Structure 1
Amino acid sequence: MSSAGPEKSSPTVVVIGGGLAGLTAAREILVRMPGAAVTVLDASDRVGGKLRREEIAGHLVDVGAEAMLSMRPEAVDLVAELASPEDVVTPATTAARIWSRGELYPLPRTRIGVPFADSVVTGLLSRGEEERMRSESSAPEVGEDVSVGDYVASRLGDAVVERLVEPMLGGVYAGHARSLSLQATMPAVWGVARGGGSLLEPPVVDPQGGAPRSPFIGLVGGVGRLPELLLSDVERRRGTVESGVIVRGLERRGSGWRVLSGPTTEPRWIEADAVVVAVPPPAAARLLGPVAPDAAGALGEVEVASVGVITLAVPAAEVATWEGSGFLVPPVDGRGIKASTFSSAKWGWLAAEGGRTAYLRASVGRAGETATLQREDGELVEIAAREVAEALGASPLTIIDSHVQRWGGALPQYAVGHVDRVARVRRGVASVDGLEVAGAAYDGVGIPAVIGTGRAAGAATVTHLRGLTSRAGE
């Protein structure tokens, strides 16, 4: 048996998971407590989790998330701390459409798929479906959490769920509207439901006005640069990051911790004063079982969905006349893909870098659907190329290069009751000194939300470490 770890003269922390949440937590600890010895252990071949770049047709391209919400401060603030201002970009276009019933329709103004009274849905919805939507049913105030699909359908009709809400939620959560929590995934709509108001009433507009800003930002070179920047900063601050390390167990040791990794024939233990668990729900539940069983039980109830991203490099001339940033696909239409993004049209830096080569991508996979993702890479590429061309009414695409990225168990499902489930996790974790959790399972699956959990875990860890130092000095 071998033992490894930082010198005990400094407070020691092990962060389990080198995705965005884990790296953010590690950096937060090092920023707040420069003397801490922080070790990040990540099971993958490289850090970054679901933010990743791969070389396709000679250029590095995002094969995970490729944009960040700018309406929340977490991602904007972190990027400002790590990147140069000129590296932060906004999309050249965000004019998306919906491919429904064999036609492309402009994506109406909605609240995550829930339309407003002035939303233009003609064509996307049939005349009868639109009449049903506009004759919104009244509903009593909601007391307990309900599914998005059941609630919206009861107010605006099934077609609104099938043609608008489902494609939007499928893109964000890879889930199904009839299973996802209204309270967790649509807090604004939840507020309306709790108050018994109209779903069609638009949000209050800022009376100060001003030019609208893009709801998204990106990075020159791709959002996959963000974990690379985080890694560089963590190492600059003397943190240690190890890839290809699978953590197999956690143990309490007095007031501290022991973290077990390595094969059973050659176990490796690392001692630490505090631990941050920043891995997906199934792995987190296994690790927390012996030390925080209530939290582990709640995490064990969180299902995950697997998705795939198919990236195609094509001659720029073949897509030069295409409009907008891409399209969403309602699952009711039975297509193979659920969305497509015209990456080179969306990001000016990629268009310039690609030159005569343009990039587009398609996504597949929803919770509980495994058949599509079981197909071979070549078949997924063929499906994506065929359906994207069909949607645009274009000739068959010439594939210069392609890449299929499968994200197994990538997206936690915010099922009905998720807010209460997360509260149980946090109560269980709070009862154990020196333990924190972070990741996409808690406050949202988007980049800003994940960053927020990492920063909160890092800050709470430092508070704990300072308490230990204070008690030791008494």
Structure 2
Amino acid sequence: MNADTTGPHAGAHVVVIGGGIAGLAAAHRLVTDGHRVTLLEAGDRLGGKLRAGEIAGAAVDLGAESLLARRPEAIALAEAVGLGDRLQAPATTTASVWSRGELVPMPKGHVMGVPGTAAAVEGLLSEEGARRIGRDAELPPTEIGEDIAIGAYVSERMGHEVVDRLVEPLLGGVYAGDAYRISMKAAVPALFEAARRHPTLSAAVQAVQRAGAAAAPVDAGGGGTGLAAGLAGSVFLGVEGGVGTLPAAVADAVRAAGGEIVTDAPVTALRRVGRDRWEVHAGDRVLAADAVVLATPAGPAARLLAEHAPAAASELAAVEYASMALVTLAFRREDVPALPGSGFLVPPVDGHTVKASTFASQKWNWIGDGAPGLFVLRTSVGRHGEEDQVHREDADLVAASLKDLGAATGLAARPVATTVTRWIGGLPQYPVGHLARVARVREAVAALPGLRVAGAAYDGVGIPATVASAQRAADEITREIAGKIGDEIIATSKSTDPGAGHSS
């Protein structure tokens, strides 16, 4: 690379591998910082688990449907690519838990399902389960150590019923995993840190709640302007037309800034060239790169890293993934009875097929307003260890969803349209020790000049956390490239200075 003092990045070429929201966010950050960027996506579609679609003529999300608004990264990205005026808070945030055959309003006063008091979960737990929560104050402090499974810790302090009836369905909705395996440090870090400082779990929950109440709302607008800033008090935000429209908007912004995006371009190999450059092999195409961002799931990243960072590759190859299916159903609105709130969660312990249902037309005004004659809802099926459920025939998944919906809500109508979307290996699992594994991966990868990793397998499966991991990778690449350019300028200056190397 030749030194060029006209800009801080001197025409550096960065290749981003992976066209999900992580890869797109990394590419956007890199082109914004002045790099020449090429993004390679193995499939024919961008966006990963963000996917816009339609059913019976109504626009819907067929993947992730909302952004966590208490973190700024995803909302700031949406504003940066022109979607700020389309951000929309849910029309209703009240939800239920379908437990023991009844829809029970979702309790308030909990942190990811962990209550601060027994009164917070009245109506959902049995009398015995509620009394068990009170025993937390009588138990000696639990040694948490460097990490602990949230289900194991909460059940020890408050009993299994709290985990089975509330923590499990809530965490299952995020990770499609098992609360008795999920890392508390990774999944609920604020509660983990509070539990290390307080003698009881109840006190830790109450401390987290106080801190949350005292915290100022996130300025989602990145400067206090725009609709997003006005919606910053919402826990979640959607996008009119679907969160699935975000990838295309980011891709358009990348292209407008001079970036190249190539689909149907699976990367088969990385090759080091000299000390600090790379060759990226994608079919017949070989790209020379000053730096590479690997924004793929853990498995493909492990294969590409095997030659260069075997320790990181081994760690990534061990990351497990869960599969799930989304069943989207459209009904004639007049055929649907009154349904409560935005939907319901289902404790896996009750043995139903459906793990959750969202009343999409009721939750998002843009769906209800765009198709006033329809009522759209969706169910989710499958979690870690339930691959057989996800691979059932579409008709079976629809029938199972209708059966559970009927039992839970009394819905007896037949849908006018249905669609099943499967996310095979879509959700990385965060077991105990996950963050330590991520730290080891990053340390091994950072030892290779011009290489970083990003995606949902690292810092969180939510969209903001995934975007944050991408921006972190891009920023580290930018600093590294700027440092190399500075070193080259100094070296060039010394080589052309006749007095260099001589004392004055």
Using the size of structure 2 for normalisation, the TM-score is 0.88
SS for the counterpart of 2:296 is coil
Q: Deviation of residue 119 (structure 1)?
A: 4.6
Q: Deviation of residue 464 (structure 1)?
A: 2.1
> What are the superposed Cα offsets for residues 230-281 of structure 1, whole Å, 9 maximum, x if unpaired?
010001011111111111111111120011122xxxx432111100000011
Q: Deviation of residue 461 (structure 1)?
A: 1.4
SS for the counterpart of 2:120 is coil
Alignment RMSD? 1.9
From 453, 467, 472, the counterpart of 2:483: 467
Tell me the amino acid that sits aligned with residue 322 of structure 1.
Answer: L
Q: Which residue of 1 aligns with 2:167?
A: 165
Q: Residues of 2 paired with 1:81 and 1:208: CA distance?
A: 25
From 161, 175, 178, the counterpart of 1:176: 178
Q: Deviation of residue 297 (structure 1)?
A: 1.6
Instruction: Specify whether residues 212 and 84 from structure 1 end up closer, same or farther in structure 2 by C-alpha distance, changes over 3 A only.
Output: closer
Q: Deviation of residue 21 (structure 1)?
A: 0.6
SS for the counterpart of 1:327 is strand
Q: Residues of 1 paired with 2:18 and 2:90: CA distance?
A: 30
Instruction: Specify whether residues 182 and 382 from structure 1 end up closer, same or farther in structure 2 by C-alpha distance, changes over 3 A only.
Output: same
From 205, 210, 223, the counterpart of 1:204: 210
SS for the counterpart of 1:313 is strand
Equivalent residues of 1:192, 1:198 under 8 A apart: no
Q: Deviation of residue 172 (structure 1)?
A: 0.3
Q: Deviation of residue 443 (structure 1)?
A: 0.9
Residue 261 (str. 1) matches residue 282 (str. 2): yes
Q: Residues of 2 paired with 1:85 and 1:9: CA distance?
A: 32
From 306, 318, 336, the counterpart of 2:353: 336
SS for the counterpart of 1:135 is helix
Q: Which residue of 2 aligns with 1:410?
A: 426
Equivalent residues of 2:268, 2:281 under 8 A apart: yes
SS for the counterpart of 2:201 is coil
SS for the counterpart of 1:429 is helix
Q: Deviation of residue 320 (structure 1)?
A: 5.4
Tell me the amino acid that sits aligned with residue 249 of structure 1.
Answer: A
Instruction: Specify whether residues 240 and 193 from structure 1 end up closer, same or farther in structure 2 by C-alpha distance, changes over 3 A only.
Output: same
Residue 290 (str. 1) matches residue 307 (str. 2): yes
Q: Residues of 2 paired with 1:10 and 1:132: CA distance?
A: 63
User: Which residues of 2 match residues 374-413 of structure 1 at below 5 A?
Assistant: 374-394=391-411, 396-413=412-429
Equivalent residues of 1:362, 1:384 under 8 A apart: yes
Equivalent residues of 1:256, 1:272 under 8 A apart: yes
Q: Residues of 2 paired with 1:347 and 1:199: CA distance?
A: 35
Q: Deviation of residue 9 (structure 1)?
A: 8.0
> What are the superposed Cα offsets for residues 123-178 of structure 1, whole Å, 9 maximum, x if unpaired?
32111111111221333332231111111100000111110111011100010011
Equivalent residues of 1:142, 1:196 under 8 A apart: no
Tell me the amino acid that sits aligned with residue 19 of structure 1.
Answer: G
> What are the superposed Cα offsets for residues 285-323 of structure 1, whole Å, 9 maximum, x if unpaired?
111111111211221221111111111111112335111
Residue 310 (str. 1) matches residue 310 (str. 2): no
Q: Deviation of residue 195 (structure 1)?
A: 2.0
Q: Which residue of 1 aligns with 2:225?
A: none
SS for the counterpart of 1:99 is strand
Instruction: Specify whether residues 400 and 152 from structure 1 end up closer, same or farther in structure 2 by C-alpha distance, changes over 3 A only.
Output: same
Q: Which residue of 2 aligns with 1:116?
A: 116
Using the size of structure 1 for normalisation, the TM-score is 0.93
Q: Residues of 2 paired with 1:91 and 1:119: CA distance?
A: 27
Equivalent residues of 1:44, 1:243 under 8 A apart: yes
Q: Which residue of 2 aligns with 1:431?
A: 447
Equivalent residues of 2:331, 2:416 under 8 A apart: yes
Q: Which residue of 1 aligns with 2:128?
A: 128
Equivalent residues of 2:59, 2:367 under 8 A apart: no
Q: Which residue of 1 aligns with 2:340?
A: 323
SS for the counterpart of 2:125 is coil
Equivalent residues of 1:141, 1:195 under 8 A apart: no
Identical pairs, percent: 45
Unaligned runs of 5+ in 2: 1-8, 218-230, 493-504
More divergent stretch after superposition (342-351 vs 140-149): 140-149
Q: Residues of 2 paired with 1:114 and 1:333: CA distance?
A: 19
Instruction: Specify whether residues 243 and 393 from structure 1 end up closer, same or farther in structure 2 by C-alpha distance, changes over 3 A only.
Output: same
SS for the counterpart of 1:371 is helix
Q: Residues of 1 paired with 2:269 and 2:95: CA distance?
A: 45
SS for the counterpart of 1:104 is strand
Q: Which residue of 1 aligns with 2:290?
A: 273
Residue 235 (str. 1) matches residue 255 (str. 2): yes
Q: Which residue of 1 aligns with 2:495?
A: none
More divergent stretch after superposition (75-84 vs 400-409): 75-84
Quick check: which has more Rg, 1 or 2? 2
